[in-house]
Structure 1
Amino acid sequence: PISAAAFGVAGPIVNGVAKITNLSWTIDQIEVAHALDLAADKVQLLNDLEAMATAVPFLLPEDVQTLNTAEPVAQRPIAVVAPGTGLGEAFLTWNGRRYVAFPSEGGHADFAPGDSLQLRLLNYLAPQYGHVSVERVCSGIGIPNLYAFLRDEKIAEEPQWLREMMDQVDDIVPVIIQHAFDKAAAVPICVQTMEMFAHILAAEAGNMALKLLSRGGVYLGGGLPPRILPMLQAPRFMELFYGKGRFAQLMAQIPVYIILNQRTGLLGAGYAALALDESL
């Protein structure tokens, strides 16, 4: 028999009720408990990023790609930055017995340009959005904004055949990524788009690390980092992560990992369920 259950869901959870972001679903923790014949305190709904973060302390070496040589410090905070469709951010702190994950809405904090090109990007997007969050430039929904900026501001040229190809699809992000990493014929505008994305991600991961002093590590999750691994392994990525002025030396002591295991959220939900079950 089932003794406890936890579910990672894509949406905010208020008082045990989740509204799913991209579906017209509402999931109620008490209704789920009733359906599973469990006590209400044996069922937990977690935000999907909270579920991913919950799994981080249990990831195996083969589940991650290490980007630098810094060593994690036991029981110190851990940061999770996860660009997928949106930009999810979470963190873990040690409660004396184990790590506990907390979700955040850090992806909706202000985008802070790191160079003159990014400043132009902010000025390009501000009239469209008013508030330009990091998510607008560092996620699956942000990549088309970077591409449009480079095209419209005449920073890079869009080939006609590529425009025609993009007109045929609903989601242009896979097209951009494919043509950024095509070893035989990479398209400059696609390469520049993904480089800009990687540079913004590096700076944002560094911001998160500074705010949390995450000596336990920074983990880059979500669907995008594993697909652009070569750009994250390029020296420039860690240079921008470390590039916090007087605190560069501190930043160099923080390990950075890419989560490769695409079932990390499921693992986290499993560990959350184990924590609910006092019989184990």
Structure 2
Amino acid sequence: MLLAGDIGGTKTHLAIFSSPGELRTPVVEKTFPSARYASLEVMVKEFLTQVDVQVDRACFGVAGPIMNGKAKITNLPWVMDEEEMQKSLGIPKICLLNDLSAMAYGVPLLEEQDIYTLNAGTPQPGGTIAVVAPGTGLGEAFLVHNGSRYIAHPSEGGHADFAPLNERELDLLRFMLQRSAHVSYEHVCSGIGLPNLYAFLQSTGAYEEPDWLSDQLSLVSDHTPIIVKGAVESAVPICIETLKTFVAILGAEAGNMALKVLSSGGVYIGGGLPPRFLSLFTDGSFMQAFLAKGRMGQMLSHYPVYIILYPNVALIGAAAHGFTL
């Protein structure tokens, strides 16, 4: 039996799997509010007590960098150590993975209904695969085929410098530089970045903010869900334009990633945000920005581009990797 987990700052999804051929049907699974627990060990012990299943290995996708078998989750005071967890939990084999590496390991397991195709391209067998995932932050990873299977490699490319493509994005960069000495793609292309885009558009004076929207935004610290809802459900112009700007910037950064790793096997857009406003990815602005790479645009036009719709890709990726331990 294998215990796998998708560990995030807000919630943690744990599941037990019996074989690598049954990753869509875990023996048991449960989601926990992460902040209520002092550590991952405390949460796992509670889970295992409830399910009464003996596991002999575990693999956890963690929202943070992994160094020498140790990890600290972004936005949580948890510090994890593979060796210490093995002793504490009595599980012989434990592996900590970067959460984007876990997501990447799940990509080869996706089925046709799990993805939305933005560009069919011509996928090359064994070609490198890029994963770009805007969630709370902007995660990136890539898969390289070693001759027998794909191996995931993490990246912190979401923290690379934001590069404007047009005059308005130049104005956005100037606006952001007044707030921060360093402006990364994550600052303008993620859950934490959406409010920055909204604030910039509001500063231009070109968009009105309805009173009811102002009231809702004033009541919460996290504006992202309200901005997305304002666009998707209420068609508020400033909210729609915020998401359109986000989509174009994401297209540009996905193209950057495709160039850097030559992802002829495909580019997969993950994270929780894109499926929530999928229709805005189909108007051409995403692919226009993706292909805006000068003479390299023709090469990129042959690269497949997909949006991941399957919500548990990181969990099954962690499980798949765990079975190789």
Task: Please state which band the TM-score falls in when normalised by the shorter chain.
Answer: over 0.9
> How big is the shift at 1:107?
0.4
- On the 8 A contact 2:69/2:82 being kept in 1, the answer is yes
CA RMSD between the two structures: 1.2
Counterpart position of 1:99: 150
Number of the residue aligned with 1:20? 73
Deviation at 1:155, TM superposition (A): 3.0
What's 2:261 paired with? 212
1:150 Cα offset (Å): 0.7
**154-163 vs 16-25, which deviates more?**
154-163
Q: What's the CA shift for 1:36?
A: 4.2
CA distance in 2, matches of 1:152, 1:109: 25
The 1-side partners of 2:178 and 2:284 are apart by: 34
Report what 1:230 is aligned to: 279
Give the letter aligned to residue 141 of structure 1.
I
* Letter aligned with residue 78 of structure 1: I
- Aligned counterparts of 2:166 and 2:241: Cα–Cα separation in 1: 14
Pairing of 1:31-110 with structure 2 (within 5 A): 31-39=84-92, 42-110=93-161
SS in 2 for 1:128: coil
Q: Secondary structure at the match of 2:281?
A: helix
Determine which structure has the larger strand proportion and give its number.
2
Partner of 2:244: 195
- Secondary structure (helix, strand or coil) at the match of 1:53 reads helix
Supply the distance in 2 between the matched residues of 1:191 and 1:126 (Cα, whole angstroms). 24
The amino acid of 1:30's aligned partner reads E
Q: 2:320 maps to which residue? A: 271
**66-75 or 186-195, larger mean C-alpha shift:** 66-75
Give the C-alpha shift of residue 72 in structure 1: 1.4
Aligned to 1:6: 59
For residues 288 and 224 of structure 2, the distance between their equivalents in structure 1, rounded to whole angstroms, comes to: 26
Which aligned runs of 4 or more in structure 1 are off by greater than 3 angstroms?
35-39
Q: For 1:30 and 1:155, how far apart are their aligned partners in 2?
A: 56
Query: How far, CA to CA, are the matches of 2:91 and 2:189 in structure 1?
Result: 40
Quote how far apart the aligned CAs of 1:142 are: 0.3
Deviations, residues 144-194 of structure 1 (Å, cap 9, x unaligned): 000000111213222222111211223211111111123xx4111101100
Counterpart CA distance in 2 for 1:210 and 1:11 is: 24
Q: Does 1:120 align with 2:171?
A: yes
Counterpart Cα distance in 1 of 2:198 and 2:75: 24
Secondary structure in 2 matching 1:211? helix
Aligned length: 272
Name the aligned partner's letter for residue 226 of structure 1: P
2:216 to 159, 165, 182: 165
Following the alignment from structure 1 to structure 2, what is the Cα–Cα distance between the partners of residues 76 and 225?
A: 24
Q: What letter corresponds to residue 180 of structure 1 in structure 2?
A: A
Cα deviation, residue 2, structure 1: 2.8
Q: Which position in structure 2 is the counterpart of 1:256?
A: 305
> How far apart, CA to CA, are the structure 1 residues paired with 2:272 and 2:68?
28
What secondary structure does 1:197 align onto?
A: helix
**Larger deviation: 129-138 or 230-239?**
230-239
Structure 2 residues not aligned, in runs of 5+: 1-53
Corresponding letter in the other structure for 1:31: E
Q: Which moved more, 1:116-125 or 1:65-74?
A: 65-74
CA distance in 2, matches of 1:271, 1:194: 34
Moved more, 2-11 or 108-117: 2-11
Q: Deviations over 1:98-130 (max 9, x none)?
A: 100011110000000011100000000112111
Distance in 2 of aligned mates of 1:96 and 1:69: 24
Percent identical: 54
CA distance in 2, matches of 1:97, 1:3: 26
User: Offset at 1:16?
Assistant: 0.7
Residue 120 of structure 2 aligns to a residue whose secondary structure is coil
